């Protein structure tokens, strides 16, 4: 029997033949450039079976390829088996990006027709494809077909809509719209179009659950000097915006409109429109037109990244409740191992979610929990199976990467813990990754330093032993928003964005050995002022995450005195903060776990 995904690809090829298209590009994003698209826009998953969060597909009449990065290579090989889709590896020295591959594939052709869903492809990406082919002398015709996949995906989900509610971050909607209007005046633009969902949620202080794990509303926001049109209402079905919320929005000068009116509104608009064209999709960019479009970086990205005092206080409180849940989970897990109970990766994931749900303000998980034992932990973005999940055994390492959404903050934590005796190699990897984590957590650096210059701190202890990892060391985290946000990050990719006090980043180095084990230690760090002197202003990090690091899997001889001091101080802080909220058995256990080494 033919693989279902190979059948879907052949159906797409049938459409290509009927329209005379040489290739179809299917991107892994949605009309808003979201990292995590709603089910309606998981076209790559539906077409190929690949479930990773980063992947694009190119289909020609004789080739099908998936482009993804180092985080997903092992996963992609397994999920693409039998589909006829070839893996194209990115973030490696010999990578061949899609535009260059298309150029090589159609070398010598005089005309090439490439179809894509212009709602789900970025303007810059389309330009790169055109430039690559045109540089080879071919006439490149990009055919934008909004909702292209509906022709072959008969039961494609509708645009999601979930109840909308308000958030209270300490700055009003009117104040945030005022910031945008001041920025508009400084840019001499008539309007700004926000298409990134977290930008819109931040600006309007609204939340929903249109995308799983992300408290976001599928919408666009068009702001002018005196107007704010929010394209959010979803057609004939009952809309999730209550009359009370509508009244509050209108009272603040926000005009809710239907989502499908966005295209007409932009086509009819007089004046210039500022938009972040790295996020705004190709279709809407084309409707605005080059004469009216002012390409910019959304100012909301940086405003959102620098948390105010209310948001910082909320994040601290959320991490207390989150840390309490994770400590209770680790106590339960160790008890299960000691008692010889049969616990699967999925059982553990469910237990952790139930403990988080006991915390005040809990709104759900911030991403799908990675609950991985042994070989599964070697996949940085492992998907824990609901059925037939591997059982945890009383030896080796277990990795759990999880997070919660709370009404006052967002969390993201990874703990790798020994379930019993560990091999020398497991303990080495465990210790070296923790050394990398501590090095970044202890960093003191000049104001203005970008995260790309801090990344090496976490890698150096691993590099000394010629070990490395293929993902970034740190990403920004939102306040009751996306667990991944920019513009700051800590990774090797050159990103000039400086770290500012009030920014929050993860600290998560790792080591992954295919078929054996994986190690990752992750806390969230708040960037704060350290001091000032004749050399300038200095910054440092304050850990927000509150959960001990297990010292039983360490090789203490590999730690420096400064590393021991940091670890002992951190574990002591965790105990002092959380002990009053634990029962006696849990408290005694945590006291043992946080004993100085």
DSSP 479-537: SSS-SSEEEEEESSS---PBP-TT-EEEE--EEEETTTEEEE-BEEEEEEEEEEETTEE
Alpha carbon distances (Å) from 448 to 438, 444, 471, 500, 592: 22, 12, 24, 7, 41
pLDDT of amino acid 293 = 94
What CA dihedral angle connects 319, 320, 322 and 326, to 10 degrees?
120
Is 86 in contact with 64 (CB distance < 8 Å)? yes
pLDDT of residue 133: 84
Structure tokens at 13: 């090829």
Which element (helix H / strand E) includes 444? strand 444-446
Q: How far is CA 208 from CA 21, 202, 205, 450, in A?
A: 39, 12, 11, 32
| Domains of the chain and any CATH numbers | 4-151 (3.40.350.10), 165-305 (3.40.350.10), 309-593 (3.90.230.10)
How far apart are the C-alpha atoms of 211 and 538, rounded to whole Å?
A: 38
Task: Determine the pLDDT at residue 1.
Answer: 47
CB atoms within 10 A of CB 406: 25
Backbone phi, psi, residue 191, to 5°: -145, 160
pLDDT value at 237 more than 60: no
Alpha-carbon 587 to chain mean position? 34
Q: Is there a contact between 490 and 457 (Cβ–Cβ < 8 Å)?
A: no
What is d(CA 140, CA 120) in angstroms, rounded to the nearest whole number? 19
- pTM score: 0.92
d(CA 97, CA 91): 10
How would residue 453 be classed by pLDDT, with cut points 50, 70 and 90? very high
Q: What is the mean predicted confidence (pLDDT) over 484-500? A: 96
pLDDT at residue 191 is higher than 80: yes
| Band of pLDDT at residue 427, cut at 50, 70 and 90 | very high
Say how far apart CA 351 and CA 347 lie, in whole Å. 6
Structure tokens at 300: 């909301």
Would you mind telling me the total number of residues written for the chain in this entry?
597
The dihedral built from the CA positions of residue 246, 252, 253 and 254, taken in this order, carries a sign that is negative
Q: Which two tokens stand for residue 113?
A: 């027709």
Distance CA 76, CA 101 (A): 19
Rounded to an integer, the average pLDDT of 143-162 is 92
Nearest to 125 by CA among 341, 344, 318, 282: 282
Return d(Cα 595, Cα 438) in angstroms, integer. Answer: 18
Range scoring the smallest mean pLDDT among 136-150, 176-190, 288-302, 486-500: 136-150
H/E stretch holding 211: none
CA dist., res. 88 & res. 2, Å (int): 23
What the block records as the tokens of 55 is 């992947």
pLDDT at position 406, please? 98
pLDDT tens-digit map of 206-231: 999 999 999 999 999 999 999 999 99
Positive or negative, the CA dihedral 185, 191, 195, 201 is: positive
Residue 203: per-residue pLDDT: 98
Nearest-angstrom CA–CA distance, 178 and 42: 35
Contacts of 482 (CB under 8 A, 6+ apart): 35, 36, 198, 214, 216, 410
Residue 109: band (very low, low, confident or very high) from pLDDT cuts 50, 70, 90: confident
Asked if 230 contacts 204 with a C-beta cutoff of 8 angstroms, the reply is yes
The mean per-residue pLDDT over the stretch 425-446 comes to 98
**Predicted confidence (pLDDT) at residue 538 exceeds the cutoff of 50:** yes
Measure Cα distances from 593 to 327, 328, 426, 510 in Å.
10, 13, 19, 22
Residue 382, pLDDT score: 87
Closest Cα partner for 169 from 480, 527, 506?
480
When pLDDT is cut at 50, 70 and 90, the band that residue 239 belongs to is low
User: Is a pLDDT exceeding 80 seen at residue 138?
Assistant: no
Over residues 526-540, the mean pLDDT reads 98
Instruction: Give the whole-angstrom CA distance, residue 125 versus residue 127.
Output: 5
Q: What is the pLDDT of residues 346-361, one digit of tens each?
A: 999 999 999 999 999 9
Q: What is the mean pLDDT of residues 63-73?
A: 90
Q: Give the pLDDT band (50/70/90) at residue 137.
A: confident
Q: What is the mean pLDDT of the chain?
A: 94
């Amino acid at each position: 029997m033919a693989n279902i995904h190979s059948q879907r690809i052949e159906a797409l090829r049938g459409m290509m033949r009927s329209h005379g298209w040489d290739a179809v590009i299917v991107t892994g994003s949605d009309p808003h450039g979201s990292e995590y698209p709603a089910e309606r826009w998981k076209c790559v998953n539906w077409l190929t079976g690949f479930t990773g969060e980063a992947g694009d597909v190119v289909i020609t009449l004789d080739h099908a390829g998936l482009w993804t990065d180092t985080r997903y290579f092992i996963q992609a090989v397994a999920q693409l088996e039998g589909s006829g889709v070839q893996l194209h590896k990115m973030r490696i020295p010999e990578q061949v990006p899609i535009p260059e591959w298309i150029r090589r594939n159609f070398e010598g052709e005089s005309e090439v027709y490439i179809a894509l869903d212009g709602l789900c492809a970025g303007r810059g990406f389309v330009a790169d494809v055109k430039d690559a082919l045109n540089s080879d002398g071919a006439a490149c015709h990009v055919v934008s077909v909004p909702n292209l996949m509906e022709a072959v995906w008969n039961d494609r989900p509708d645009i999601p809509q979930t109840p909308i509610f308000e958030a209270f971050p300490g700055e009003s909607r009117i104040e945030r719209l005022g910031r945008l209007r001041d920025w508009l005046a400084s840019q001499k633009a008539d309007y700004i179009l926000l298409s990134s969902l977290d930008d819109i949620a931040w600006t309007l202080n609204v939340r929903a659950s249109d995308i799983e794990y992300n408290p976001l509303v599928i919408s666009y926001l068009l702001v002018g000097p005196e107007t704010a049109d929010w394209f959010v209402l979803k057609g004939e079905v009952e809309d999730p915006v209550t009359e009370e919320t509508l009244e509050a929005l209108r009272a603040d000068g926000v005009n809710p409109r239907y989502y499908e009116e966005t295209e007409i509104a932009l086509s009819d608009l007089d004046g210039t429109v500022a938009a972040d064209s790295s996020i705004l999709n190709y279709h809407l960019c084309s409707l605005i037109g080059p004469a009216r479009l002012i390409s910019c970086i959304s100012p909301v990205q940086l405003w959102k990244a620098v948390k105010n005092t209310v948001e910082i206080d909320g994040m601290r409180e959320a991490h207390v409740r989150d840390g309490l849940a994770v400590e209770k989970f680790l106590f339960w897990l160790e008890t299960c191992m000691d008692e010889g109970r049969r616990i699967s990766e999925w059982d553990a994931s469910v237990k952790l979610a139930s403990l988080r749900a006991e915390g005040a303000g809990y709104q759900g998980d911030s991403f799908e929990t990675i609950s991985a034992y042994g070989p599964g932990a070697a996949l940085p973005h492992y998907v824990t199976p609901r059925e037939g999940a591997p059982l945890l055994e009383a030896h080796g390492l277990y990795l759990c990467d999880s997070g919660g959404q709370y009404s006052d903050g967002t969390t993201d934590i990874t703990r790798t813990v020994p379930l019993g005796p560990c091999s020398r190699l497991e303990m080495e990897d465990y210790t070296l990754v923790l050394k990398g984590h501590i090095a970044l957590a202890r960093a003191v650096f000049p104001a203005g330093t970008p995260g790309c210059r801090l990344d090496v701190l976490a890698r150096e202890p691993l590099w000394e032993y010629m070990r490395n990892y293929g993902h970034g060391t740190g990403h920004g985290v939102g306040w009751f928003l996306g667990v991944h946000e920019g513009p700051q990050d800590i990774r090797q990719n050159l990103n000039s964005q400086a770290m500012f006090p009030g920014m929050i980043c993860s600290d998560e180095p790792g080591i992954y050995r295919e078929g054996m084990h994986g190690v990752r230690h992750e806390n969230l760090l708040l960037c704060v002022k350290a001091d000032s002197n004749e050399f300038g202003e200095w910054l440092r990090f304050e850990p927000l995450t509150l959960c001990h690091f297990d010292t039983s899997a360490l090789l203490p001889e590999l730690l420096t005195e400064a590393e021991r001091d940091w670890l002992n101080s951190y574990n002591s802080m965790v105990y002092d903060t959380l002990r009053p909220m634990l029962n006696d058995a849990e408290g005694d256990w945590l006291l043992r776990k946080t004993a100085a080494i």
